[in-house]
Amino acid sequence: MESSDSLVILFIFDSVRADILYNLINTNQMPYLRKYIFNRAAIVENCFTTFPTNTIPGHLAILTGTYSNKHHVPAMRMWNLSKMRYRDYSGLEIFNLLSQEFNPNVKMVYDFFPYSEAFTSSNFAKGAKYVYLNKSRMIFYYLLQKLNYRVVLIQSLKTFLRHLRKKPTDALYVLWLPITDVLSHEKGPDSPEFFRHFQEIDQMLFRVLFEGYKNWKGLIKLQLLNRSYFIITADHGSFVIQQKSELIHEFKSLPLQIKDKQVSPKISILLAYTDGFASLYVKHPLTKRWKDRVTYDHLIAYPTSNGPINLIEFILKIPTVSHLFVIKEGIKPFSYLVFSQEGTSEIQRKVEDDEIQLSYKVIRGKDPFAYNNSPDAKLLLDGSFHPTHEWLKALRRTNYPLMVDQIPRLFDCDNLGDILFMGKEGSSFSRKKNYRGTHDTGTYNCLRVPLILAGPNIKHTIIPTARTVDIVPTLLYLLQKKVNFKQFDGKILSEIIQS
């Protein structure tokens, strides 16, 4: 029997690392969040988002319980080669996401509720009965927050509480808190302005939500505190920028025509990139067709007017590049190769009894991910296949905790390139913005996000690992929703549920 009177509120911070939020709570700098949610919640010590670590795939992992190989939106910027269209979802084109790249067969969490509201933008609101950030409001708030972001926050929270007052039960509310991302970029994730904003959120949101203000009685007086579910997480983490370069300019010495936003018959390479992740699309040298996948042999000896060039070696010489990934097809299981300047490793994937199995081994030089420095990870570095949950447990304390799982999934996506690569933590592929902080990489600081869950039948406990794709299936299980859980990449976090 499905639960019919529960209130569910999902809070999504933007660009917030787990260590930062947990420290603010534990040092009582967010006393209302701590008192009413954290002190009775299940806390995940190491919760990981998706790679690349930016807003769109991060949100979609939370809201769908799936990764990009299912929802089909792996990055903020990419090329759709079947239509030869450049997609840039960092701007207003984000409002076309659901009609362009998103897989229409994938459900968002709103679809499972009789009533739901999305206090986020419409691209993250498929199935919601009400959407707060339409296109015009998004543009207005974007301009307004440049002058005074507090006005934007206050107005958003006022509308949220007004709607909550009308429908306080049997409903889902998703509340996106985007100003944290703005401050993390512009001021830095180590800045006083960034930390101060959390205290503002605690006073303006969590205090008022529970204790009331003016016409809003608060969840305590409404006797809804113990009947409601509260989930707090983030789409990705962040780091401080110490080095910048403009990635497209690094390819000027290449004897090939390359573009990042335009295509013509003379162009051989297309590039799509954000601050810390890039996708390189290579035209097939024989068929001259973009949709024909080039082979590994083409990538290491691509024909140019000056003779063949090794594109992998060329990219690895770019100072801001950390790791590079390619697929080497042949006899299944395919090989997914990981390159750094120090060495090369190989990931393989197979499916047995509906469970993904992965193997990882170093094939040249040093381990690109330095997994051999971890005693837990060393146990799996035997070239044998192990299930994903074993990899999650073994890699959770390494600097690249999810990459063995994520890299094969990215190459399942038709709208990513032949060569994928990411930047070094502390570096940015873009000089255009005066940013002090960013994200996108597959490092621990970008992948590790907070996950706090409180509500009926949820234990007050700490568990070592989870992923943001686990949120939707766990919530639906708690609410006794009748769904096919095989549609999700996430699993039910049974260890937090009271028997």
The whole-angstrom separation of Cα 278 and Cα 493 is 33
pLDDT at 231: 98
How does residue 261 score in pLDDT terms, banded at 50, 70 and 90? confident
pLDDT of residue 220 exceeding 90:
yes
The answer to whether residues 57 and 74 touch, using CB atoms and an 8 Å cutoff, is yes
pLDDT at 140: 84
In this prediction the pTM is: 0.96
Average pLDDT over residues 21-44: 98
pLDDT of residue 2 exceeding 70:
no
77-102 pLDDT tens trace: 999 998 999 999 988 888 898 899 99
39-50 pLDDT tens trace: 999 999 999 999
316-351 pLDDT tens trace: 999 999 999 999 987 678 899 999 999 999 999 999
224-233, 326-335, 394-403: range with lowest mean pLDDT = 326-335
* Polymer length of the chain: 499
Comparing 260 with 177, the larger pLDDT belongs to 177
pLDDT at 153: 87
pLDDT of residue 3 exceeding 70:
no
